[in-house]
Amino acid sequence: MPHGMGCLERVCVCCALLLALEKLMIPRIRSKHKTLLVVTDSQSLLAALNKGPLSQTDWTEDQIWQRLLTVTFAGWSVHLQFCYGHCGVHVNEPADQHATQTMESGQYTEQGIAPLWHTDLLTCFTTQLTNKWRSTIRQDTHRYLLCGTRPSDLSGKDLITQEVLHRQEPVHLARARCGESELWGRLYWAVRDCTNQCRFCNVSP
């Protein structure tokens, strides 16, 4: 099931699987064919389902497990299979067209299947706030020329190369954020037109 902007892939895959179990499998539970094959390109969904029905913390995944248990208790054999996305899937283009129409109409799921996803709303709000924050960043700083609008990474990795920093380098960066450094002196006294934000990371000291 394709997904649009502001949506999470795992959320869409969960919705598609729950909808398929609810609308297609449960009504055919008394069928003579007792094998159910679920093929997906979502490794995160398979990893979550492999934890078992008692370890689920997500509402949709819990509902999926309830449907799978219902099918299993009826004598079905259930197989979960991973495949790489779009490999030989001839209905991919029509599915993309359907997803585009869904995004335009705003109707993501059928009524009674699942509520509107809070995670999708959170993703939308976070994207809007991030774009608003990026529009306020000064573009005439040394930091902007190097890193653009990427946020600061305080995990101990270089923001540009993603290499792990030496133990002494985060110390120097922390001193630079405070405005004083044993290597560069008092930065706010030496730099003209200085705001109350660090010229290296755009984070207030």
Domains and CATH numbers, the chain: 9-125 (3.30.420), 139-205 (no CATH)
Report the sign of the C-alpha dihedral through residues 98, 104, 110, 115, in that order: positive
Of the listed ranges 4-13, 48-57, 170-179, 184-193, the least confidently predicted one is: 184-193
Q: Over the stretch 41-96, which tens digit does the pLDDT of each residue have? A: 788 888 888 888 888 888 888 889 998 888 888 888 888 887 766 555 565 666 66
Residue 193 has pLDDT above 60, yes or no: no
pLDDT for the residue numbered 101: 67
Query: Quick one: 61 exposed, middle or buried, by C-beta within 10 A (0-12, 13-18, 19+)?
Result: buried
- CA–CA separation, 149 vs 127, rounded Å? 13
When the pLDDT of each residue in the chain is averaged and rounded to a whole number, the result is 71
- Evaluate whether 190 touches 132 at the Cβ level (below 8 Å): no
Q: What confidence tens digit (pLDDT) does each residue in 92-112 have?
A: 666 666 666 666 665 555 554
